[in-house]
Amino acid sequence: MRKHLSVEELAAGVLANSRPVVAKAITLVESSRPADRDRAKRLLVALREHTGRSVRVGISGVPGAGKSTFIDAMGRRLIGKGHRVAVLAVDPSSSRTGGSILGDRTRMGELAAEKDVFIRPSPSGGHLGGVARATRESMLVLEAAGYDVVLVETVGVGQSEVAVADMVDTFLLITLSRSGDQLQGIKLGILELADVITVNKADGDNEQAARVAARDLASAMRLITSDPNARRPPVLTCSAYTGAGLDDVWQAVLDHRAYLEDNGGLAARRNAQQLEWLWSLVEDAILDGVRRSPRVRAMRAGVETLVGHGELSALEGSEQLLTAFITDVPEIWPAQAQVSS
C-alpha cells in the first residue's frame, strides 16, 4: 500500500474537493517535519492560483460570549444562502490541553453535519507561530477546495487574536451584556483590532440589556481614536440562539469588505499580511534550525545553567549558541548551504 499521495494527486484531490484528500493535505501543511514541509511547499505552489477568493473572517470573544453557538448558527445560515463554509481555530494551548476547539466541535453539531462545511480542530503547533502558520496554510488549502467563507476562531485570550487578525480580512468581536461592566475582559488592543462588534445573547429578558451594552460600547469605541474621519466599527446585537440579528452581522462583514475594496484596502491588507507572513516564516525557520542544531542541543543545558547561576551573561550565552548554530547550518540546511557556496 502506498504511504503517501503524490503532491500532484493531493492538488488534484483538493481542487476536486475530495474531503479525504483535503484532510490529508491539511495534515501535510500542519506538519513541521522537514520532508513534509518540502512537500507542503510544493502543494501550496500548485494550489496558489486557486486561493485568495474567500471571505476571511476572524472571530474572537470574551469568555462566555457564545462563540461556538454563534459560529454554528452563522455557518448554517451562510450554507442556506449557498455558501461553502470552513471553520479553523488558532489555539496555542491545544498541544497541552487537547484544544478546546475539540469541545467546540461537539457544540457545533448541527453545522458539522452539513456537507458544505469543513471544521478543523486547532493543530498542535507547540507555540503560537507554529499554530498560526499551520492555520494560514490550511486556509489556503480550503480556499482551493472551493470554500468561499473561512471563519477563523481564536481560542483563549492573548496574542492569538493578533495572529488571526494578520490572516483575515475582517475581525469580528463577540461580546455580551454585563451588569454595568460590559467592557471588563475586553482588552483595548482587542477593541483596536475589531472591524465589526456584536453583543450576543440579545434574547428574552437579556435583549434590552444587550442593546444598552451595544450603545455603551459604541460610545467607548469613539474614544479609541481621535481621528474624526477614521472608520469606526459598527456595534450590533444578535442572538445565536434565536437567529435574530445574524443577517445584520453578516451584512456588516460584507460592508466592511466592500469598504476595503472601494478604498484599495483589501489588496493592501492582504499584501501587508503576505509580508508579515514572509518574515514570520523566516523567523520560524531560523528558530527551528537553532533547536535542531546538534551543537546547540549538546551545549544548551550547560549554557542555560551558567546563565541561570550568573556565571555567564545572557549576551555571552547567546553568542555561543549562535556560533554553534552557524557552524551546523550546512548540516541542518544542506541544500541551502550548497546554493550559497
Shared domain for 194 and 103, answered yes or no, is yes
Task: Give pLDDT, residue 335.
Answer: 55
Task: Give pLDDT, residue 339.
Answer: 46
Cell of 218: 459604541
Shared domain for 21 and 108, answered yes or no, is no
Shared domain for 99 and 241, answered yes or no, is yes
Angle subtended at Cα 135 by Cα 107 and Cα 97, rounded to the nearest 5 degrees: 55
What phi, psi does 177 have (nearest 5°)? -75, 145
139 belongs to a structural domain:
yes
At 196 the three-state DSSP class reads: strand
| Residues 6 or more apart in contact with residue 112 via CB below 8 angstroms | 105, 119
Task: Give pLDDT, residue 123.
Answer: 64
Shared domain for 31 and 57, answered yes or no, is no
2 belongs to a structural domain:
yes
Which amino acid would we find at residue 77? Answer: R
Alpha-carbon distance of 80 to 103, in angstroms, equals 24
Task: Give pLDDT, residue 100.
Answer: 44
Q: Let me know: does 99 contact 131? Beta carbons within 8 Å.
A: no
Q: Which of 262, 284, 315 is the last residue of a domain?
A: 262
141 belongs to a structural domain:
yes
The side-by-side arrangement of strands in the sheet containing 55-61 is 117-119, 85-90, 149-154, 55-61, 170-176, 196-200, 235-237
Shared domain for 126 and 167, answered yes or no, is yes
Q: Let me know: does 203 contact 191? Beta carbons within 8 Å.
A: no
Which CATH number goes with the domain that contains 19? 1.20.5.170
Q: Consecutive sets of 10 residues in the chain, 341 residues long: mean pLDDT of each?
A: 80 96 95 88 96 95 86 95 93 51 61 91 63 89 97 75 89 78 59 91 92 88 75 93 96 96 90 90 88 94 96 95 94 62 47
Q: Which of 262, 288, 323 is the last residue of a domain?
A: 262
Kindly state the helix (H) or strand (E) to which residue 170 belongs, with its residue range: strand 170-176
Q: Let me know: does 287 contact 196? Beta carbons within 8 Å.
A: no
Residue 242 DSSP one-character state: T
Shared domain for 19 and 66, answered yes or no, is no
Task: Give pLDDT, residue 156.
Answer: 56
Handedness of CA 280, 285, 289, 291 (dihedral sign): positive
Shared domain for 24 and 66, answered yes or no, is no
Shared domain for 109 and 44, answered yes or no, is no
Which CATH number goes with the domain that contains 249? 3.40.50.300
Shared domain for 87 and 113, answered yes or no, is yes
153-171: b (≥16 Cβ within 10 Å) or e: bbbbeeebbebbbbbbbbb
19 belongs to a structural domain:
yes
Alpha-carbon distance of 314 to 31, in angstroms, equals 32
- Range of 71's domain? 52-262
Cell of 164: 488571526
Which CATH number goes with the domain that contains 316? 1.10.287.130
Cell of 178: 454585563
Shared domain for 187 and 303, answered yes or no, is no
Shared domain for 14 and 79, answered yes or no, is no
Do strands 149-154 and 85-90 pair parallel, antiparallel, or not at all (unpaired)?
A: parallel
How many structural domains is the chain composed of?
3
232 belongs to a structural domain:
yes
303 belongs to a structural domain:
yes
Task: Give pLDDT, residue 162.
Answer: 83
Task: Give pLDDT, residue 110.
Answer: 84
Q: Which of 230, 262, 294 is the last residue of a domain?
A: 262
36 belongs to a structural domain:
yes
Shared domain for 13 and 103, answered yes or no, is no
Task: Give pLDDT, residue 186.
Answer: 61
Task: Give pLDDT, residue 103.
Answer: 47
92 belongs to a structural domain:
yes
